[in-house]
Structure 1
Amino acid sequence: MGGRNTDNRFLGYYKESYNEDRDLLVYGEKPGQGSSFQALEAYFHEIWNQPCCKEFDAKGGIGGLEQCCERVKERYPEAFDRIYSKEDWEKATMETRGIELWTNPTEPENKEPVVWERMIAAMEGEEDILVQTPYMICSRKMYEDLRSVCEKGARVDIVINAVESGTNPFGCIDYLNQKKKICQTGVHIYEYLGDQAQHTKSLAVGEELSIIGSCNFDMRSVYLNTEMMLAVDCPELNASIREQARPLKEKSRHMSPDGRTEDGQNYEPREQDMAKRAVYALLRIVISPFRHVL
């Protein structure tokens, strides 16, 4: 489970630019018996059987997927040659107390924000919440939900891409326009400026719950897309996610709810080129009336 798209920035062989992602492997001792697996299989068939879906033969076609696979085999032969045993899988995974699949409705139309509402419900009552999302494009209701979580005593840290490194121009532009509203919710923003943009969609809620999958903190993911997230009850996984986020925060500019900013100890400012700044300045004006369709 994860949030990767099917192009070389996400599934390529990583010789040039790529996006950093988080993937989650669920291993069960009894094949096909896990409840989250059964839910995922049912969800797949529900989408596959939608009247709007059509089969498309991609053999030898889009993106050269077969050629890409061969290049990956050449670069990482050990991933394909080794036969993994039950003991190998157990060593590579963490025992959980429960896993649930959370999904949005599958109809190709505006949707009830099921995944978002379950994430907000999970956050309520917790004191320490860590969110990773590539960008934020929030509705008024989403801002209200985040404000409600913070007003109930939670410290909410959100790690997003800095505008200088973000690969979604509309997400970057909307963030520039919405900074004040984001601050007013009470969340802490960490503008991550690393070598590669992050594409991770995950939450560490409290000390036990982790939520990982494909749902961005944006209106398209919340109200339109067929997103899915795995909710995992596992303190060890939660701690691992928080530890992996620590160096990202150190390479970030921290914006507090009162608007103050502080550079992380490994944050290195980077200038945007003049052409990009000019385009962003123009688009900040142009997209304002249309941000709900971004």
Structure 2
Amino acid sequence: MIKHSIKWILLMILCYFLVFGVLIFDFSKEVSEEYKNTYNVERFYSNNVGPDRALVVDSPKDAALTRINVIANTNETLDIAYYAIENDGSTEAFIGLILDAADRGVHIRILLDGMTTTIKYKNDASIYALCNHPNIEVKKYEPLKIFMPWRINNRLHEKYIISDNEIVILGGRNIGDRFWGPENYDGEITYDRDVLVYNSDKTSKDSVLPQVSQYFNDNFNGNYSKPYVKWLSKKQVNDGQHRNIELKENIAFIKRKYGKYFESNINWKEITCETNKITLIHNPVNRFKKEPWILYEVKELIKNAKNKVFIQSPYIVLGDKSMQDIFNNKNNVRIDVLTNSEASTPNLPAYGGYLNYRDKIVKSGANIYEYHGEYSIHAKTYMIDDDISLIGSFNLDPRSAYLSTETMLVINSKELNNELRKVVNKYMDKSLIVGKKGKYEVSQKSIDKREIGKLKKVALEFTSLYAKFFEFLL
């Protein structure tokens, strides 16, 4: 009798988690008419030069050194939001830089995802060092609770740093060795992309910096953000203090080695591109399924393209409606898509979902370039004609569209668009064009196909089958 009761209780718990952790997200959600009537694509354009200047930050080394310089030269405020920070040497340097800035009197607020970072940093003294500093506030977004399974899919997926409300670094790159590529690192590199925006005129009201700052404030002070720890035990305080000393010693070593990057002699105005206008777009901040604001904006921009469209996402998973909206090419514009290949992708479930759409995209007339160079690409970039560029954290998949918080910067600038195309072409040159039935087209410029192991091939075939049933979570 007792065993029978236990089985029923376990079955009920399983059903509860299945319904409220999975099935509750399996329904369609559309953008409201209010949003559509309030926002239009015209707001992304301007005929005048604006106060914001922009720089594409692509290579892992540039990503690391840019962050070092910006944080090291912050004077007043530093706001940081990240989906994931790894537990490795690059993160030690990152946290050491933050502590060093806090010692200088900089007021720092950090918002981390409540699942990915918590798992990696459970009982880690580095977090205690941050939480114990009087000039640092640390919060986690939507921390997990065992009997609230819907929280699992309500994730903070964005990655950005705001320095003195003057500079923002925003993109798809997390913090860790595989994203920064430090010296003597022999692991897999993940190629990604950020954009640095410099407000050259703080008196102007047209900068995107206030938009990003307001968005951060809303999230940091919102109902879903909680203190990383409510209180620190005596042992945790001591562990944090010892860790603080170790991290500062590490930063002292980095300063000796890369001293010039700590100096405030970078002329951002000189090395950045002129822009007419930069606009922040983001998803709504709420639990459960969200209105797909960013997806809507991307589709509207593509619909209004006159000559060409470029789409880059690590994987592309589209429902039939989005497939129709994006690739129903009524204007006969050229659409180029850059994504990973079966060999380069590290994300089997999401890529399995993409395989279900690959032939449909090819049949639409779009050109798919699959990357066959070394490592993998995690960048999210969109270009419309020669004057609009989008860079941020938004993947072209249901999770980014409906479940996660996401941010993208829409940049109206021919100069930036041109620089971005030069960067993108380096990856295109290491890619093969997908033809009919998934076969690659051969040309004189074709590179060698990167081979895929049998086990990974079988795994992708399996995930492409089950992806049809759980596509709304990919």
Judge same fold: TM > 0.5, yes or no. yes
- In the alignment, the residues of structure 1 paired with residue 410 and residue 353 of structure 2 have an alpha-carbon distance, to the nearest angstrom, of 29
SS of the aligned residue for 2:356 comes to: helix
Match of 1:151 in 2: 330
Quote how far apart the aligned CAs of 1:217 are. Answer: 0.8
Quote how far apart the aligned CAs of 1:136 are. Answer: 0.5
SS of the aligned residue for 1:107 comes to: coil
Q: Which has the larger radius of gyration?
A: 2
Match of 2:219 in 1: 47
Distance 1:23 1:174, change over 3 A: same
Assess if the C-alpha contact under 8 Å between 1:13 and 1:72 holds in 2: no
5 Å-filtered alignment, 1:13-162, equals: 13=182, 15=185, 16-31=187-202, 35-57=207-229, 70=251, 73=254, 77-78=258-259, 80-84=261-265, 88-126=267-305, 127-148=307-328, 150-162=329-341
- In the alignment, the residues of structure 1 paired with residue 469 and residue 269 of structure 2 have an alpha-carbon distance, to the nearest angstrom, of 52
5 Å-filtered alignment, 1:181-192, equals: 181-192=360-371
- In the alignment, the residues of structure 2 paired with residue 42 and residue 50 of structure 1 have an alpha-carbon distance, to the nearest angstrom, of 12
Which structure is richer in relative contact order (CA contacts within 8 A, separation 6 or more)? 1
- In the alignment, the residues of structure 1 paired with residue 325 and residue 257 of structure 2 have an alpha-carbon distance, to the nearest angstrom, of 44
Match of 1:293 in 2: 473
Assess if the C-alpha contact under 8 Å between 1:13 and 1:71 holds in 2: no
SS of the aligned residue for 1:130 comes to: strand
- Compare 51-60 and 122-131 and name the one that shifted more: 51-60
Assess if the C-alpha contact under 8 Å between 1:146 and 1:187 holds in 2: no
Distance 1:32 1:213, change over 3 A: farther
- In the alignment, the residues of structure 2 paired with residue 32 and residue 141 of structure 1 have an alpha-carbon distance, to the nearest angstrom, of 44
SS of the aligned residue for 2:343 comes to: coil
- In the alignment, the residues of structure 2 paired with residue 111 and residue 9 of structure 1 have an alpha-carbon distance, to the nearest angstrom, of 31
- In the alignment, the residues of structure 2 paired with residue 32 and residue 200 of structure 1 have an alpha-carbon distance, to the nearest angstrom, of 33
- In the alignment, the residues of structure 2 paired with residue 189 and residue 67 of structure 1 have an alpha-carbon distance, to the nearest angstrom, of 45
TM-score by length of 2: 0.56
Query: Which amino acid is the alignment partner of residue 53 of structure 1?
Result: S
Assess if the C-alpha contact under 8 Å between 2:312 and 2:382 holds in 1: yes
Within the candidate set 172, 197, 217, 1:3 is matched to 172
Within the candidate set 377, 398, 410, 1:219 is matched to 398
Quote how far apart the aligned CAs of 1:237 are. Answer: 0.8
Assess if the C-alpha contact under 8 Å between 1:190 and 1:252 holds in 2: yes
- In the alignment, the residues of structure 2 paired with residue 283 and residue 21 of structure 1 have an alpha-carbon distance, to the nearest angstrom, of 25
Query: Which amino acid is the alignment partner of residue 368 of structure 2?
Result: I
- In the alignment, the residues of structure 1 paired with residue 257 and residue 383 of structure 2 have an alpha-carbon distance, to the nearest angstrom, of 31
Distance 1:32 1:228, change over 3 A: farther
Assess if the C-alpha contact under 8 Å between 1:32 and 1:38 holds in 2: no
Give the gaps of 5 or more residues in structure 2: 1-169, 230-235
Match of 1:168 in 2: 347
Q: Percent sequence identity over matched residues?
A: 28
- In the alignment, the residues of structure 1 paired with residue 227 and residue 253 of structure 2 have an alpha-carbon distance, to the nearest angstrom, of 27
Distance 1:241 1:258, change over 3 A: farther
- In the alignment, the residues of structure 2 paired with residue 72 and residue 17 of structure 1 have an alpha-carbon distance, to the nearest angstrom, of 25
SS of the aligned residue for 1:151 comes to: coil
Query: Which amino acid is the alignment partner of residue 84 of structure 1?
Result: N
Match of 2:447 in 1: 267
Distance 1:222 1:89, change over 3 A: same
- In the alignment, the residues of structure 2 paired with residue 262 and residue 74 of structure 1 have an alpha-carbon distance, to the nearest angstrom, of 49
Assess if the C-alpha contact under 8 Å between 2:432 and 2:446 holds in 1: no
Assess if the C-alpha contact under 8 Å between 1:252 and 1:263 holds in 2: no
Give the gaps of 5 or more residues in structure 1: none
Assess if the C-alpha contact under 8 Å between 1:187 and 1:257 holds in 2: no
Match of 2:376 in 1: 197
SS of the aligned residue for 2:323 comes to: helix
SS of the aligned residue for 1:121 comes to: helix
- Compare 187-196 and 262-271 and name the one that shifted more: 262-271
Quote how far apart the aligned CAs of 1:130 are. Answer: 1.2
Query: Which amino acid is the alignment partner of residue 128 of structure 1?
Result: K
Distance 1:279 1:145, change over 3 A: same
Quote how far apart the aligned CAs of 1:251 are. Answer: 1.4
- Compare 244-253 and 220-229 and name the one that shifted more: 244-253
Distance 1:165 1:113, change over 3 A: same
- In the alignment, the residues of structure 2 paired with residue 71 and residue 275 of structure 1 have an alpha-carbon distance, to the nearest angstrom, of 45
- In the alignment, the residues of structure 1 paired with residue 252 and residue 456 of structure 2 have an alpha-carbon distance, to the nearest angstrom, of 34
Distance 1:104 1:177, change over 3 A: same
1:179 has 2:355 as partner: no
Assess if the C-alpha contact under 8 Å between 2:398 and 2:471 holds in 1: no
1:206 has 2:421 as partner: no
Q: RMSD of the alignment, in Å?
A: 2.9
